[in-house]
Amino acid sequence: MSSRVRRATTTLLSLLMLLPLAGCGWLDIFSKEDGNEPMRLERINAQVEIDRLWRVSVGNGQGKKYNVLRPALSGNRVFAAGNNGEVVAVQADNGRVVWRKRTKQVITGGVGASNGLVVVGTENSRVLAFAEDDGRELWSAEVSSEVLAPPATNGRIVVVQTVDGRLTGLDAATGRQRWIYESDVPALSLRGTSAPLILENFVIAAFANGTVVSVATDNGTLRWEQRVAIPTGRSDIERLVDIDGPIWLNESGQILVTAYQGYLAVIDAVTGQTRWRTEASSWVGNASGFGNAYIADETGNVRAFRVGQDQPVWTNGSLLRRRLSTPLGFSNYLAVGDFEGYVHLLSQIDGRIVGRTKVDGKGLRAPMIAQGNTLYVYGNGGSLVALRVR
C-alpha cells in the first residue's frame, strides 16, 4: 500500500472508530486532510428504467452512530428496524405495513428473519425475538456484549455475534443459551461485526482477528478455522484485519469472504479449505453472480474477479471515495449504494453503470436485498424503498 493511500486509510479508519463517540461526518474531514474529495458523479446513458414501487419510514433509520442495520426478506415480507427501537414488517409487493413494533431498546444489530422469527440485537447486550406474523414479542435474552450484526436463525436456534468476539447459540423457542464460542479479540478494531450464517447443521462466522470459523449448530464445537488476513505492521491500525461484511455463498455453494488488509477468498463450506484467494481490502464485503466475485474496496473501486484468476475481469473506478455499501448481485446487475444516497446499477458483464436513482439524502450504508428484479433499499435516514428494475 502506498504512503498516500496509507495516510488516507489511517485517517478514515480513525474516524470510523471515533464515530460512535463523536457522531461527526467522516467524509468532510477525510477530504480536507487528504486533499481528495469524493468523485463527482458523471452523467450516464441509462439503459434500464428504475421504478419506485413504495416507500415506508422506519423510525430514525441508522441513528447517529455508525450502525449498519440491514433489512431482511422472509416469505412475502420485508422487515427493518430503526436505531430508536422501531421494528416494521412490510408487505413486499405493495408496501403495506403489516405491523409496527415500538420497543424501548436501542437497536444496533438487525434484522434477522426466518422460520417465523424476526430477531434483532441491542446496544445493551440483548436479543429480542418477535413473531413474523403479528410482531408480538416472544422472548428477550441477554448476551455478553453489544450486538452490531443481524442475528441468524433457522427456526430451531438463533446465533448471535457480539463485539467481544463471542458467538452465542440461543434456543429459538425460548431464548435460553445453549452454547458459546469465543474468538481472540484484537486490541483495536472497527465498529462493526460480520453476521453469522447458518448452513444446515453448522454455523459460519467471521471475526475481527481475520479468521473464519465453522462451528456445530447443536453445541458450538469448532469444526474448522481458516485465516483470511494476517496482521502486519507496527501500529494497531496497520494491523487491522477486520471482517465486517456479510458472508455469502456463491453459485457453487462455497463461501465468499473479504477481510480488510487481507484477501478476497473462496472457502469450502464443508472442509474449510481455501479454494482461491486474491489480495483485496474491504470492510463492506463482497457479492457474487455470473460466476464472478465482486468487491467494493476501501478506495471505492468496484471490481469483478473470475474465481481462480488474480486479475480482475473488470474494474469501475467512477465511484472513488464515495463510501460505498456492500455490493449485491441480482438479475443482470450489481447494485451498490453511496454516501449521498444513490443506488448505482452496474452491468455484471462489463461493470458499466447502466442505471442510477437517489433513495435517501442521508446516504446508504446497509446491505441491500433483492427478489427477482425488485431491489429493497434501506437508507440511513429511515427510508425503506422498493425499486423495480426493467
pLDDT in tens, 69-114: 999 999 999 999 999 999 999 999 999 999 999 999 999 999 999 9
For residues 298-307, average pLDDT:
94
pLDDT of 120 above 60: yes
pLDDT confidence of residue 303: 97
Grid coordinates in use for 188? 483495536
Asked whether the predicted pLDDT for residue 384 surpasses 70, the reply is yes
Listed range (33-37, 57-61, 244-248, 366-370) with the worst mean pLDDT: 33-37
User: Does residue 210 contact residue 231 with C-beta atoms inside 8 Å?
Assistant: yes
Average the pLDDT over each of 35-44, 193-202, 319-328 and give the range with the smallest value: 35-44
Question: Per-residue pLDDT for 44 more than 80?
Answer: yes
Domains of the chain as residue ranges with CATH: 38-389 (2.130.10.10)
What was the pLDDT predicted at 355?
98
Average pLDDT over residues 190-215: 93
Grid cell digits, residue 362? 442521508
Strand segments, DSSP code E, in 132-221 are 137-142, 152-153, 157-161, 166-171, 177-182, 197-199, 202-206, 211-216
At residue 136, does pLDDT exceed 50? yes
Closest by CA to 225, choosing from 198, 248, 207, 251, is 207
Burial of 81 (0-12, 13-18, 19+ CB in 10 A): buried
CA distance 61 to 362: 10
Query: Which amino acid is residue 329, in one-letter code?
Result: G
Please determine, for residue 325, whether its predicted confidence score (pLDDT) is greater than 70: yes
Contact 47, 387 (CB under 8 A): no
Q: Which residue has the higher pLDDT, 382 or 250?
A: 382
pLDDT mean over 323-350: 97
* Rounded mean pLDDT, 117-134: 98
DSSP 234: S
Instruction: Give the model's pLDDT for residue 8.
Output: 41
Q: In what order do the strands lie in the sheet with 374-378?
A: 50-57, 383-389, 374-378, 369-371
Q: Is the pLDDT of residue 342 over 60?
A: yes
Task: Give the three cell numbers for residue 209.
Answer: 482477528
| pLDDT for res 25 | 36
51 grid coordinates: 421504478
**pLDDT at position 14:** 42
Mean pLDDT taken over the chain: 90
C-alpha pair distances (Å), 268 with each of 32, 39, 367: 43, 37, 24
pLDDT of amino acid 311: 93
Q: What mean pLDDT comes out for the span 252-273?
A: 93
238: pLDDT confidence band, cut at 50, 70 and 90?
confident
* Cβ–Cβ under 8 Å, residues 373 and 352: no
Alpha-carbon torsion 316, 349, 358, 382, what sign? negative
- State mean pLDDT over 11-25: 39
H or E element at residue 330: strand 328-330
Region 275-303: mean pLDDT is: 94
Q: Helix axis angle, 3-22 relative to 26-34, nearest 10°?
A: 150
What region does 11 belong to: left with phi over 0, alpha with psi -120 to 50, or beta? alpha
**What mean pLDDT do residues 241-268 have?**
91
Q: So what's the pLDDT on residue 34? A: 54
In whole angstroms, give the CA distance from residue 69 to residue 122.
Answer: 11
